[in-house]
Amino acid sequence: MVVTYDPTRGGPAVLGRHATTDAGLYSTCLAFQNLWLAATAEGLGVGWVSYYREEFLRDLLSIPATVRPVAWLCLGPASRLQQTPDLERFGWRDRRPLAEAVHEERHRTSTRGGQA
Ligand SMILES: Cc1cc2nc3c(=O)[nH]c(=O)nc-3n(C[C@H](O)[C@H](O)[C@H](O)COP(=O)(O)O)c2cc1C
């Protein structure tokens, strides 16, 4: 499944987009995040394929120049769902304490440089 975003749809005055241009992209991500949660609840697996260039996918599916491919997803039956995220399982990234990601009143500079 390829999820796309058309910034021209709905005209120039769309709620949320007049002040924050990227709001449309954020909305698109929220939409397929909800699909992801629903799929997981149904026992289906979802994977995000991001190793491609936008132009490649655009050509493959004849996506018009004004429409952005946002996510290329694999969706289907999974033999099992992992309890531990792959990044943590393979030792690529550590789980961060929640307190490190939550900022109160003001943004605090991270003490662990590089990890967003
Ligand atoms: C922005 C983004 C890009 C990703 N790109 C890939 C990718 O190219 N290849 C891959 O195997 N997993 C990629 N992943 C990870 C998986 O799609 C997914 O997060 C993982 O299977 C865990 O899914 P789950 O949370 O439903 O268990 C990406 C995840 C994100 C958030």
- For ligand 1, atom 29, name the residue with the nearest CA: 48
Residues with CB under 6 A from ligand 1: 40, 46-51, 82, 85-86
Domains of the chain: 2-79 (3.40.109.10)
Tokens 């490190």, located at residue: 100
- Residue of higher predicted confidence among 113 and 32: 32
* pTM for the whole structure: 0.84
Closest CA to 30 of 71, 87, 84: 71
Distance 81 CA to ligand 1 centre (A): 13
Measured distance CA(113)–CA(116) in Å, rounded: 8
* Mean pLDDT, residues 90-113: 87
Each residue's pLDDT tens digit, 19-54 = 888 999 999 999 999 999 999 999 999 999 999 999
